[in-house]
Amino acid sequence: MLKKDLVQAVADKTGLTKKDATAAIESLLDTIRESLSKGEAVLITNFGKFDVGHRAARAGINPKTLEKIQLPATNVPRFKAGKALKEAVK
């Protein structure tokens, strides 16, 4: 499902216009993005939890040259599905 398909599905289920559904989805995604950038977790009951994981600095290898390089520590977004979502997918 693409974003445009999601917008259409939300518009159909809620009776919103496509423009309003797009605004709602964009607002939700922006809020999640802003919270994660601050290091805050976002918990959506019966759906899942978005949070920030920390990846430590580590040694790596450049696949082209096989040269050893040092990869810096970084933060990465993570998502853990909730129980209801896991059950729905089974």
Q: What is the mean pLDDT of the chain?
A: 96
Phi-psi region of 77 (alpha: psi -120 to 50; beta: other; left: phi over 0): beta
Quick one: pLDDT at residue 73? 96
Using CA atoms, how far apart are residues 40 and 57, in angstroms rounded to an integer? 22
Nearest in space to 42 (alpha carbons), one of 2, 90, 79? 79
Q: Pick 41-90's CATH classification: 3.40.50.720, 3.30.70.1450, 4.10.520.10, 3.40.50.300.
A: 4.10.520.10
Quick one: pLDDT at residue 75? 95
Quick one: pLDDT at residue 87? 95
Place of tokens 């802003």: 34
Nearest in space to 19 (alpha carbons), one of 29, 30, 7? 7
Total-model pTM: 0.81
Which run of H or E residues covers position 90?
none
Quick one: pLDDT at residue 35? 96
pLDDT digits (tens, 9 = 90+) for 34-67: 999 999 999 999 999 999 999 999 999 999 999 9
Arithmetic mean of pLDDT, 60-89:
95
